[in-house]
Amino acid sequence: MMKSQQSKGNLENLELNISEYRCAKCRDLTFIIEDGVAIACECRGVRQAEEILKRSGISEEFRNKRFSNFVYGSQRQIIDAYKEACTYSKYFKDIENDRCNSIMFMGQVGSGKTHLSLAIANELMENSVGVVYMSYREVITKLKQNIMDDVYYHRVLGKYKVARVLLIDDLFKGKVTDSDINIIFELINYRYFNKLPVIVSCELDIDGLLNVDEAIGSRLVEMCKDYLLELKGQRLNYRMYGK
């Protein structure tokens, strides 16, 4: 009788412990051992997707920026940019390791550059490609404030250097100092030589970017050569559509 009660208690404890796991099959290891071989559990893909999103730094609001809710109206430039963004997302894995593996949206304020950049990022993340979001002005300000703190500086900049894909939003927006240029050169130069893709939105045109710094500009132009979208001319007023 005593043995029976003890076995029942052990079983209840086992069930309680299992219930504490998100996945009872693998007990949150994301793999199952069968005949001495580790096999990926069906929960592994979900966990990887969650981790990618967690590390991305993309807010819930920005998670809602999709191709499906991008309003391109009737303006040719925006329609073309939309098509190129969709094409880039579709064929990303085919070009990821190439020299020209990046995309940049340049020019006119309010043309949907950030929306398209985020739509690409969200599409890539849903296909298990890690993307890290970098708000240029916010990050550059914090890095300059902590530039004497080597540990902080290298930890933060390092995250952006080694990301599988880096999204830089509003590159060189506002007044640009020598410190800004030095930091961005260190970042872009690393990614350039390691063939790590970037998604960039920037209010400058190509000449304006090269005038800020030719070394940075020329590297970005080469990286984005096949997907370099300049939105210029008449005011596009994308934001008038409420997006």
Helix ranges restricted to H, 96-135: 113-126
Residue 241 has pLDDT above 50, yes or no: no
Other C-beta atoms lying within 10 Å of the C-beta of residue 72: 21
Q: How high is the pLDDT of residue 221?
A: 97
Residue 46 has pLDDT above 70, yes or no: no
What are the tens digits of pLDDT across the range 153-165?
A: 999 999 999 999 9
More confident residue, 136 or 32: 136
Q: How high is the pLDDT of residue 53?
A: 60
Regarding pTM above 0.85, the answer is no
The residue extents of the domains of the chain are: 2-42, 45-241
Mean pLDDT, rounded, of the chain: 83
Residue 100 is classified by DSSP as S
Question: Residue 160 belongs to what H/E stretch?
Answer: helix 150-162
What are the tens digits of pLDDT across the range 54-107?
A: 666 776 777 888 999 988 776 888 889 999 999 999 999 999 999 999 999 998
Share of the chain above pLDDT 90, in %: 56
Confidence of residue 50 (pLDDT cuts 50, 70, 90): low
Q: How high is the pLDDT of residue 234?
A: 47
Question: Residue 31 belongs to what H/E stretch?
Answer: strand 31-34
Mean pLDDT within 129-158: 92
Share of the chain above pLDDT 70, in %: 78
Residue 19 burial class via C-beta count within 10 angstroms: exposed 0-12, middle 13-18, buried 19 and up: exposed
Confidence of residue 15 (pLDDT cuts 50, 70, 90): very low
Q: Which residues, in sequence order, are CB contacts of 65 under 8 Å at separation 6+?
A: 114, 115, 118, 119, 122
Amino acid at 167: L
Residue 228 has pLDDT above 80, yes or no: yes
Return phi, psi of residue 196, to 5°: -100, 125
The CATH code belonging to domain 45-241 is 3.40.50.300
Where does residue 112 fall: left (phi above 0), alpha (psi -120 to 50 degrees), or beta otherwise?
left
Q: Which residues, in sequence order, are CB contacts of 45 under 8 Å at separation 6+?
A: 128
